Amino acid sequence: MTMPSPVVLVTGCSIGGAGSAICKAFEARGCTVYATSRKLETMQGLASESIRLLQMDVANDEHIVEEQGRIDILVNNAGTVAAGALIDNSMGHVKNVFDINTFSVVRLAKAVWRIVNIGSVVGDTPTPFNGLYAASKAALHSISDVLSMELRPFNIDVILVTPGGFTQPEDSLYKRYLPNILRRLNASQTMGPWSAEEFAEDVVSKSLMKRPPAHVMNGKSWQVFYVFKWLPRTWSLYLFQRMYLSKPEA
């Protein structure tokens, strides 16, 4: 008897990003994929016989269960960047970032076969001018670890992937640090980042393993953050402060 192909739900699938690459990698392995985004037009060109597009809302996962009878793999990839000085963010923006990067994971955590949460290395080791994003990912990491423990008795695997970007308000107290902030934003793009396709292949291969690892670090700069993760907390924070908050030139 032929086993049915896995049914996969991937959030945050705008064309050109990691989500769309993950969808294509699952498709290449024979999976039925539901790609979601807040706006259908951002996924234009992604649809195929095996990839179906859905506008994202909290009820869509129930619609898929009704149609397919199950969701085998949930990939929580949807996220929003929140770079800049932490105190420059309005509370409305803070709530929006956590709603997208953190709370949506809780909403979608149903009884599925496997959950894959896309975190970030800064969720373990925060850096200046990335505080809001780092905080939302740190919360996601904790949620992922708790889900892993709570769902293990039901044989549901939870995988946390931590892979190794912004306009400042005119009245920002950190305006004179703008060159340092821009340097922080460019760091993730200049430290040998993987392509979206390389990242997707690694995520999908781990997701389809019979016994997947609970934690996955990837990207060509993940080793740097791995070292910082195990340094005394005060050391790593001091080093990042010196790196990105050195006194700017007059």
The residues carrying an active-site annotation are 133
Q: 3-class DSSP state for residue 208?
A: coil
Scanning the structure block, which residue is given the tokens 């769902």?
A: 151
DSSP state, residue 191 = S
Distance of alpha carbon 35 from alpha carbon 56, whole angstroms: 9
Structure tokens at 179: 């060159």
Q: CB-based contacts of 180: which residues, under 8 Å, 6+ apart?
A: 128, 129, 244, 245, 246, 248
**CA distance to 21, 22, 95, 240, per residue, from 198 (Å):** 9, 10, 32, 28
Tell how far CA 176 is from the center of its chain.
30
The candidate with the shortest Cα–Cα distance to 138, out of 156, 168, 160, 115, is: 160
Distance of alpha carbon 240 from alpha carbon 54, whole angstroms: 40
| Helices assigned H by DSSP within the chain | 18-28, 60-68, 91-98, 104-108, 131-151, 178-190, 196-207, 222-230, 233-244
